């Protein structure tokens, strides 16, 4: 970090404490979701840390993500949670991945290629992937030849108290009742679902964004510790006269004599363009508004009130002294999802993984 112009810090200690809290709450094994490079925070170091908690396995969204974990020496089950086509099966099998299947034709193709562990994906309302809960006859017929090790569905609004989670589970239980035998592994809950009940009613849980520091609202039974920080060094400081503008499009105008800092972080680093004129950083523990449009490689901060000099560190996400910018706060300022914000951090910045 000493030589970096901008960087991401991933607190593996906080990550593990979040995972332990979920495991204690759910009382069943975890399948941590580490797709999209562990939500932008580095799949291999994240998984190596989580290995100490003895999870059932891990969830990914592409064969390449699974291959990366296998190359890193991970031997636990790795579930692939996106649909596959027949041409994927040889590569998937070579990487020893467990597919999640929802179409009769691909279930039959998996059986014909040698079979093995797979999980039946049931669509109970997300309408993204899996066999529809009320049209499962063909999938069940194909599954007779090669019975699934597991079965699951995905909750679309688990953080909301709108009855949708209960409605989806009712549909899912109806599918379970139609199976000739209950699969060994049944799983439903994502992060939002896990925190809403204890213990889990199922055999596994699939935590995702909670692990990385994003909760399910202020009323949730569990709140995560922040995990990711985004920091950049001040490269230049200048003084603007009242009325001068900043950045492309001149969307920000100084209303007073202003001390302006340029930092080495832009939208190519994951500092989203939408945060310009809306969000702030922390400099010396005090707010420093982002002045003007965030550019590809740099952003400008109004440090008139916070102070700051060349070489000081600006924190766009995370803690600086007693002040904290959470992923939810920063994302809300830019009209973003916290998921988008975290995943964007993988673009090009070095990532450091201290444990605390």
Are 251 and 202 part of one and the same domain?
no
The domain total for the chain is: 2
User: How do residues 304-323 score in pLDDT, each as one tens digit?
Assistant: 999 999 999 999 999 999 99
Tokens of 270: 């994951």
Confidence (pLDDT) at 45:
97
Tokens of 127: 């309408």
Q: 32 and 211 in contact (C-beta within 8 Å)?
A: yes
User: How do residues 225-252 score in pLDDT, each as one tens digit?
Assistant: 999 999 999 999 999 999 999 999 999 9
Domain boundary among 156, 185, 212: 212
Q: With a cut of 80, say whether residue 355 has pLDDT above it.
A: no
User: How do residues 254-280 score in pLDDT, each as one tens digit?
Assistant: 999 999 999 999 999 999 999 999 999
Q: With a cut of 60, say whether residue 117 has pLDDT above it.
A: yes
Q: 272 and 336 in contact (C-beta within 8 Å)?
A: yes
Domain boundary among 177, 212, 247: 212
Q: Calculate the alpha carbon distances from 101 to 107, 147, 150 in Å.
A: 6, 12, 10
Find the domain containing 298 and state its range.
228-352
Q: Which residues contact 342 (CB under 8 A, 6 or more apart)?
A: 39, 40, 41, 209, 212, 214, 228, 327
Specify if 221 maps to a domain. Answer: no
Q: With a cut of 70, say whether residue 217 has pLDDT above it.
A: yes
CATH number at residue 49: 3.20.20.10
For 214, phi then psi, to 5°, come to -115, 125
Confidence (pLDDT) at 2:
63
For this structure, is 35 an active site residue? yes
Are 192 and 239 part of one and the same domain?
no
Are 193 and 299 part of one and the same domain?
no
What is the rounded average pLDDT for all residues in the chain?
95
The percentage of residues in the chain with a pLDDT greater than 70, rounded to a whole number, is: 99
For this structure, is 267 an active site residue? no
Q: Which residues contact 233 (CB under 8 A, 6 or more apart)?
A: 4, 5, 6, 263, 264, 311, 312, 313, 314
Are 137 and 74 part of one and the same domain?
yes
Confidence (pLDDT) at 309:
97
> What angle is formed at CA 69 by the lines to CA 65 and CA 73, rounded to 5 degrees?
165
- Work out the pLDDT band at 1, boundaries 50, 70, 90: low
Distance between start and end Cα atoms, the chain: 16
Does the predicted TM-score (pTM) go above 0.85? Answer: yes
Mean pLDDT over 119-140 rounds to: 92
For 324, phi then psi, to 5°, come to -140, 135
Confidence (pLDDT) at 356:
53
Confidence (pLDDT) at 158:
83
Confidence (pLDDT) at 163:
82
User: How do residues 39-50 score in pLDDT, each as one tens digit?
Assistant: 999 999 999 999
Mean pLDDT over 99-124 rounds to: 96
* Cα–Cα dist 37/238, whole Å: 38
User: How do residues 62-78 score in pLDDT, each as one tens digit?
Assistant: 999 999 999 999 999 99
Within 10 angstroms of residue 344's Cβ, the number of other Cβ atoms is: 18
Beta bridge partners of 320: 323
Burial 87-101 (b: 16+ CB within 10 A, else e): ebbeebeebebbbbb
- Work out the pLDDT band at 57, boundaries 50, 70, 90: very high
Q: With a cut of 80, say whether residue 184 has pLDDT above it.
A: yes
Choosing from 39, 219, 248, 259, which is the catalytic residue?
Answer: 248
């Amino acid at each position: 970090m000493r030589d970096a112009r901008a960087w991401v810090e991933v607190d593996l200690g906080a990550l593990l404490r979040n995972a332990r809290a979920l495991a204690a709450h759910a009382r069943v094994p975890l399948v941590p979701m580490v797709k999209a490079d562990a939500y932008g925070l580095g799949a291999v170091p994240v998984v190596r840390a989580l290995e100490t908690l003895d999870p059932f396995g891990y969830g990914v969204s592409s064969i390449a993500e699974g291959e990366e974990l296998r190359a890193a020496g991970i031997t636990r089950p790795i579930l692939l949670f996106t649909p596959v086509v027949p041409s994927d099966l040889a590569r998937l099998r070579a990487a020893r991945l467990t597919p999640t299947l929802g179409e009769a034709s691909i279930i039959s193709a998996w059986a014909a290629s040698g079979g093995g562990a797979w999980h039946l994906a049931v669509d109970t309302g997300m309408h993204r992937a899996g066999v529809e809960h009320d049209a499962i006859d063909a999938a069940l017929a194909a599954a007779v030849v090669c019975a699934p090790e597991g079965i699951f569905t995905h909750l679309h609004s688990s953080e909301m108290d709108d009855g949708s989670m209960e409605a989806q589970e009712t549909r899912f239980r109806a599918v379970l009742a139609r199976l000739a035998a209950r699969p060994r592994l049944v799983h439903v809950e994502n992060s939002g679902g896990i925190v809403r009940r204890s213990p889990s009613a199922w055999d596994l849980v699939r935590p995702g964004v909670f692990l990385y520091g994003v909760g399910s609202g202020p009323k949730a039974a569990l709140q995560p510790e922040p995990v990711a920080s985004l920091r950049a060094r001040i490269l230049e400081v200048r003084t603007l006269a009242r009325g001068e503008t900043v950045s492309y499009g001149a969307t920000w105008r100084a209303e007073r004599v202003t001390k302006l800092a340029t930092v080495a972080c832009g939208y190519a680093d994951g500092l989203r363009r939408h945060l310009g004129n809306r969000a702030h950083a922390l400099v010396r523990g005090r707010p420093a508004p982002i002045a003007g449009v965030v550019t590809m490689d740099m952003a400008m901060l109004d440090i008139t009130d916070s102070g700051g000099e060349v070489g000081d560190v600006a924190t766009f996400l995370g803690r600086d002294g007693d002040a904290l910018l959470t992923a939810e706060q920063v994302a809300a300022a830019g009209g973003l999802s916290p998921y988008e914000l975290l995943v964007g951090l993988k673009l090009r910045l070095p990532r450091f993984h201290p444990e605390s």
